[in-house]
Structure 1
Amino acid sequence: MEQRVSLITMGARDINVLAQFYEALGWKRVDSPDGVIAFDLIGQTLGLYPLAALAEEIGVPVDALGRGAMTLAYNVREKGDVAPLLGRAKAAGAQVLKPASDVFWGGHHGYFADPEGHIWEVAWNPFSPLGPDGAFQWNGAE
């Protein structure tokens, strides 16, 4: 198995509200005929799918999907980009869980939850700068 994540699918109770939230952050959506709303990312895609349909497809009750103890991260190019992005997320309907702050390891970050509770970290990591195309590079590796 090659090391990659191709598609991140978020189950959504209200797919249109969630899509509008990500559009308010400036993302461009790509609709597909199968009921998925997709946002192309660098090397991956974020897909929004009706929660009930996702549970049915997997063959489990909606309650079995639960809430994973997971965060998604969006890294920025400069330390000063963290707070404004958290503000933009809040204006679009997010709940800021942790305001922009310095981290013990030398970075700067904050957290928000989208309208359906998916948790995002907005981070600046001086040890993992973004590549020219915006791709994240762990410890500066390309």
Structure 2
Amino acid sequence: MRPRLNLISLGVAVIAKTVAFYEALGWPKADSSHDGFAKFDLGGVVPGIQSRKAFAMDAHSDTSESSGFSAMALAYIARSAEDVPRVLAKAAALGAEYRRRLNGLYMATFFGAGAVGSAAGGWAFAHGGWALASAIGLTLPIAALLYFATERAQCGEPASVTR
């Protein structure tokens, strides 16, 4: 894969106004531009301008007006059609999939708890051998089981009805 960008897509409120701005800067508009999408060739990198609404539809976003939709994308144009699956597979292998923040919290908690558990296990073994390490190791699962048992009982109770 060549290490370069080919297309930078920007979603804007008013295409004509944005196109006029870049043309005023002296950027040459590509002949293949049209009312819904304008391109400017900058010597290998091409900014593409389209409406935020059209960009949101292309990105399968629920809305083009929320603060969560950035209306910006970076694109890589492969050298051939045969190159596309290989590049996509490589990007997917590198984690090119949007993950929600909750997944990051889970991973941080998982690895943080693992580090704390390793430190506690080492301390327990150093101060009380296998007996203390095993006792601590059994305490947390038993506490979790007791918590689970009490939650199940609460969930099985009928809800009160107020009329």
The interval holding the TM-score normalised by the smaller chain is 0.3 to 0.5
TM (normalized to structure 2)? 0.38
Q: Normalising to structure 1: TM-score of the pair?
A: 0.43
Greater helix proportion: 2
Kindly name which structure, 1 or 2, has the bigger radius of gyration based on alpha carbons. 2
